[in-house]
Amino acid sequence: MLDYGVGFDQNDVPQLPLHVKPADILFLVVSHAHLDHVGAAPYLFVTGNPRVYTTKPTLDIARLLTLDFLKLNAYYIDYDIREFDRMYRNTKFLDYGEKEQVEDFNLQLFNAGHILGSSVVYIELPNGEKVLYTGDFNTIQTWTLSGADVPVTEVTTLITESTYGGRNHPPRHSAEKKLLEVVEETIDSGGTVLIPAFSVGRTQEVVTIISTQAPYVDVYIDGLSRDVTELYLKHRKFLRDPQLFQKVFENVNVVMDASIRRALVKKQKPCVIVAPAGMLKGGPSLYYLKHLGSNPKNSIVLVSYQAVNSNGHRLLETGVLEEHDITQPLKARLVWIDLSSHAGRDDIVKFASRFKGSIKDIIIVHGSPEDAKELSLKLREVLGEDVEIHIPANGDTITTHL
């Protein structure tokens, strides 16, 4: 089994995947630490004990995210951290490129370029089929991670995400340039920059960009990002430039308690504050927004995906969040910048085209119906009619054409 995650509905209630009997699983591979890929995996250890394969940073980060998830959603979830720890003990941690044989299956993990420890999964099946599962992946190099690196030359079945299957991202350098321009303009005017960002990946990337390109700017991080950054430092061999990353975070200010947080919003000195949650669903970022949003000298920079029903999306559309007592339109500058850690449409197609000589089936997952359809049309255009393209619904069974 490849990943076993938890989703959320429009009211942020956890949505569980279809039930799988632990006894039916030979082994589970976890591609990365995000809850939509690993959040249901502890259920397999309530009554079972399947083998698990992943990278060490993946489960270390996933444990932090699971603790936070259980704190907020214990009412809906029938496992606790003991099941996660049982899974951890039954996991074999692999390095990128390391070959592992599990009975008649051959398994390898490769850098996916998404977050620390994220993996593209390659499995050779006993019948000769060669399956590549992208998980969430990014093919471009960023300040913290190298782009997805998959030295495999033959694949018969590709299972690919399609989060951005319907569009491309702007050039990375232009997005980074815009971020730096907003930061410098705000600092020069005496304002504070609030950057709501995901704790895993986006915070570390944004801080590295700013600290490297504008080292004179004071940068603060808050919330769960602090603990995640510690794990990035612990597992820095998975980073593109470990020495640079360590140097950057030696000079970053860490908000350790509420008193420092209060002092920051009271003084509103020229600085950058990076804090979760990235969609402003809660956490320190919402607290900072309430205190910084009314000052026209300040800037609010959204750098994470903003789901349709999220606070971040509503703020971009209306400028207010009445349910959080932000009833007047923001006076602070509000900007959204695309710093995604997912491959765009053309990057996915280019990646799939590497296996044009061997690929028989492509299975499109992890995207809206519109994004999946758009990606399938582009793949068909580039790869031709000989490749079978599937967009399955939950519970579908697919027969491949080896």
Q: What Å distances lie between residue 37 and 7, 87, 141, 163, 399, CA to CA?
A: 9, 14, 23, 14, 23
In this predicted model, what pLDDT tens digit does every residue of 288-297 receive, in sequence order? 999 999 999 9
Q: What Å distances lie between residue 123 and 1, 156, 388, 390, CA to CA?
A: 11, 11, 19, 19
The CA distance from 375 to 30, in Å, is 24
pLDDT number for residue 111: 98
Same structural domain, 114 and 198: no
Assign residue 271 the CATH number of its domain: 3.40.50.10890
Residue 177 has pLDDT above 80, yes or no: yes
Q: Is residue 35 part of a domain?
A: yes
Same structural domain, 190 and 74: no
Same structural domain, 358 and 230: no
Q: Residue 47 corresponds to which amino acid? A: T
Reported as a pLDDT band with limits 50, 70 and 90, residue 381 is very high
Q: Is residue 80 part of a domain?
A: yes
DSSP per-residue string spanning 4-32: ---EE-TT--EEPPPP--GGG-SEEE---
- What residue spans of 271-393 are helical by DSSP H? 283-292, 311-318, 345-353, 369-383
The CA distance from 243 to 237, in Å, is 10
Question: Tokens 């990128």 identify what position?
Answer: 96
Query: How do beta strands 192-196 and 299-302 pair?
Result: parallel
Q: Is residue 2 part of a domain?
A: no
Residue among 341, 362, 359 at smallest CA distance from 32: 341
Same structural domain, 311 and 281: yes
Q: Stretch 133-141: mean pLDDT, rounded?
A: 97
Q: Stretch 351-355: mean pLDDT, rounded?
A: 97
Same structural domain, 222 and 302: yes
Residue 389 has pLDDT above 80, yes or no: yes
Q: Residue 186 corresponds to which amino acid? A: T
The rounded percent of the chain whose pLDDT value lies above 90 is 93
Query: How do beta strands 333-336 and 299-302 pair?
Result: parallel
Same structural domain, 66 and 176: no
What mean pLDDT value characterizes the chain?
95
Q: Domain span at residue 16?
A: 7-167+341-390
Same structural domain, 146 and 250: no
Residue 8: left if φ>0, alpha if ψ -120 to 50, beta else—which one? beta
CB 91 within 8 A of CB 176: no
Residue 51 has pLDDT above 80, yes or no: yes
Q: Is residue 331 part of a domain?
A: yes
The CA distance from 195 to 218, in Å, is 13
pLDDT number for residue 267: 86
Helix, strand, coil distribution of the chain in percent, nearest 5: 35, 20, 45
Same structural domain, 149 and 207: no
Residue 322 has pLDDT above 90, yes or no: no
Residue 282 has pLDDT above 90, yes or no: no
Residue among 230, 329, 224 at smallest CA distance from 281: 224
Same structural domain, 325 and 210: yes
The CA distance from 75 to 73, in Å, is 5
Least confident of 22-36, 153-167, 249-263, 306-320: 306-320
In this predicted model, what pLDDT tens digit does every residue of 111-130 receive, in sequence order? 999 999 999 999 999 999 99
Q: Is residue 155 part of a domain?
A: yes
Domain endpoint, select from 310, 336, 362: 336
This prediction has a pTM of 0.95
pLDDT number for residue 77: 95
Residue 63's H or E segment, with its range, is helix 56-73
In this predicted model, what pLDDT tens digit does every residue of 84-100 receive, in sequence order? 999 999 999 999 999 99
Same structural domain, 325 and 351: no
pLDDT number for residue 161: 98
Residue 402 has pLDDT above 80, yes or no: no
Q: Stretch 164-186: mean pLDDT, rounded?
A: 97
Q: Stretch 374-398: mean pLDDT, rounded?
A: 96
Neighbouring residues of 284: CB distance < 8 A, sequence distance ≥ 6? 222, 223, 255, 261, 275, 276
Reported as a pLDDT band with limits 50, 70 and 90, residue 302 is very high
- Count of the separate structural domains present in the chain: 2
Q: What Å distances lie between residue 331 and 26, 196, 311, 327, CA to CA?
A: 56, 17, 17, 12
Q: Is residue 1 part of a domain?
A: no
Q: Is residue 397 part of a domain?
A: no
pLDDT number for residue 309: 83
Domain endpoint, select from 336, 353, 375: 336
The SS3 assignment for 83 reads helix
pLDDT number for residue 295: 95
Question: Tokens 């593209």 identify what position?
Answer: 120
Q: Is 147 exposed, middle or buried (0-12, 13-18, 19+ CB in 10 A)?
A: middle
Same structural domain, 22 and 95: yes
In this predicted model, what pLDDT tens digit does every residue of 181-192 receive, in sequence order? 999 999 999 999
Same structural domain, 111 and 210: no
Residue 167 has pLDDT above 80, yes or no: yes
Assign residue 77 the CATH number of its domain: 3.60.15.10
Q: Is residue 47 part of a domain?
A: yes
Question: Tokens 């632990």 identify what position?
Answer: 22
Domain endpoint, select from 293, 310, 336: 336
